[in-house]
Amino acid sequence: MRTQFIHQFSYTPYAETGGRVVSIQSPATVANMVCGFDVLGFAVTDPYDEMHIRFTDTPGVTIVNLDAYDLPTQPEQNVAGAALLAMLDEVAEPIGLEVSIFKHIKPGSGVGSSAASAAGAVVAANRLFNDRFSKSDLVRFAMNGEKVASGVKHADNIAPCIYGGVTLIRSIFPLDIVELSAPPLYVTLVHPQIEVRTADARGILKQQVLLKDAIRQWGNIAGLVAGLLQGDYALIGRSLEDVLIEPVRSILIPGFADIKQQSREAGALGGGISGSGPSIFMLSKDEATAKDVEAAMHGIYEKLGLDHHTYVTTINHQGVKFIN
């Protein structure tokens, strides 16, 4: 059956302390954008995590989980905690931070759950530090959280979460993030209720590729970037092709081929696996088409008898949002 996520968050932390609390909404993100493995990503308006952070008298990082996911509370093993520890290393003062996290983005869903926690934590903490650090610094800190989640520092979820919109990661070392403009786009997401761990999805990838496949992939990446900058929907659609990663990872996602085919038939420009999966995203020019795509996705998973969440949303050009 299809389920729609309803935001429910009424917890007001630390009201009795009188201390300053920074509260934020940290958005889900779609990494790779089909052909741009580890280099392209965008933020979406819905879903998002909600987080609150404050100073404490005890140096170090304290994690408070306000949801039912039972994620680690040891800061070194928690993506938000690892990101904050990296930030505190550069603050070079004995400071304590407590972060409370209510996750609406299910871990292992493929829409940047770990990135939302890591990025949201450092953006909120930076406000407590009177915005001492640049956005590039914040990405660098948050990448430590991604390393906890997947074993690799990557920024294709982190960067759009912090910068908003669509971002290109030209380089990780040194970090070089390029903000890309984009025409109006609607995003349809479906999350079949299975889990694909990022580390596992990376582990099955080929370590060598044919030159002809690499050339085709480079052309698609360049075409997609050009299509976004020029507002050329047809070019965007033609470029949403992956000949390297998707053929391997798609075997982990039930109904993937049917989702892709029927979404195209419903009018989508194209799409594919969101991050490492199992979520699938499709881009459309208008909301009506995006909802037709949602109906097609729903029909496929109804036939398979697989529970799923769907979202019809838009590109989030703000990134992490302050709510107090």
Alpha-carbon distance of 222 to 84, in angstroms, equals 35
What is the structure's pLDDT at 201?
66
What is the structure's pLDDT at 13?
40
Q: What is the dihedral of CA 245, 180, 311, 318, to 10 degrees?
A: 140
What is the structure's pLDDT at 71?
95
| Single-letter residue type at 149 | A
Alpha-carbon distance of 155 to 171, in angstroms, equals 9
Alpha-carbon distance of 230 to 251, in angstroms, equals 34
What is the structure's pLDDT at 198?
67
Query: pLDDT tens, position by position, for the chain (324 residues)?
Result: 333 333 333 333 433 334 799 999 999 999 999 999 999 999 999 999 999 999 999 999 999 999 999 999 999 999 999 999 999 999 988 999 999 999 999 998 899 999 999 999 999 999 999 999 999 999 999 999 999 988 889 999 999 999 999 999 999 999 999 999 999 999 999 999 887 776 666 776 778 889 999 999 999 999 999 999 999 999 999 999 999 999 999 989 999 999 999 999 999 999 999 998 899 999 999 999 999 999 999 999 999 999 999 999 999 999 999 997
Residue 117 has φ and ψ, to the nearest 5°, of: -70, -45
Q: List the beta bridge partners of residue 178.
A: 168
Q: Active-site residue numbers?
A: 146, 198
What is the structure's pLDDT at 159?
98
Q: Which domains does the chain have, with CATH numbers?
A: 20-181+317-322 (3.30.230.10), 186-314 (3.30.70.890)
What is the structure's pLDDT at 117?
98
What is the structure's pLDDT at 308?
95
Alpha-carbon distance of 33 to 245, in angstroms, equals 11
What is the structure's pLDDT at 19?
75
Alpha-carbon distance of 214 to 193, in angstroms, equals 32
What predicted TM-score, i.e. pTM, was given to this entire model?
Answer: 0.91
Cα–chain center distance at 246: 18
Q: Helix 113-128 vs helix 79-91: angle between axes, to the nearest 10 degrees?
A: 30
What is the structure's pLDDT at 87?
97
Task: Fill in the DSSP letter of residue 310.
Answer: E
Alpha-carbon distance of 52 to 58, in angstroms, equals 17
